């Protein structure tokens, strides 16, 4: 786990107005908006296999 000072410095470089989904081990920041869209796409693709793409997408976007 990163120390508090390193994390504060990392986050201060990112726009404070942008919600963050998570920070990877190599310090890449994944914005919440992008994370939710990617999750929705993946969930929609999985659900499409049984004819429920839209429901999967919806579940992914709110999860």
The answer to whether residue 6 scores a pLDDT higher than 80 is no
Domain of residue 37 covers: 4-62
The CA distances from residue 41 to 19, 25, 29, 46, 50, in Å, are 20, 24, 20, 9, 15
Helix axes 32-48, 53-62, angle to 10 degrees: 150
For the beta carbon of residue 57, count every other beta carbon within 10 angstroms. 20
- Total tally of structural domains belonging to the chain: 1
Residue 40 CA to residue 23 CA, distance in Å, equals 19
Q: What is the pLDDT of residue 29?
A: 85
Q: Who wins on pLDDT, 6 or 1?
A: 6
Q: Summarize pLDDT for 8-47 with one digit per residue, the tens.
A: 666 666 556 778 888 888 888 888 889 999 999 999 999 9
Indicate the pTM of the whole model.
Answer: 0.66
Nearest by Cα to 30 from 21, 39, 38: 21
């Amino acid at each position: 786990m990163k120390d508090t000072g390193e994390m504060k410095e990392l986050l201060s470089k990112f726009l404070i107005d942008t919600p963050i989904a998570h920070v990877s081990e190599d310090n890449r920041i994944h914005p919440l908006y992008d994370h939710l869209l990617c999750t929705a796409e993946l969930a929609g693709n999985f659900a499409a296999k049984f004819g429920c793409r839209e429901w999967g997408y919806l579940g992914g976007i709110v999860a």
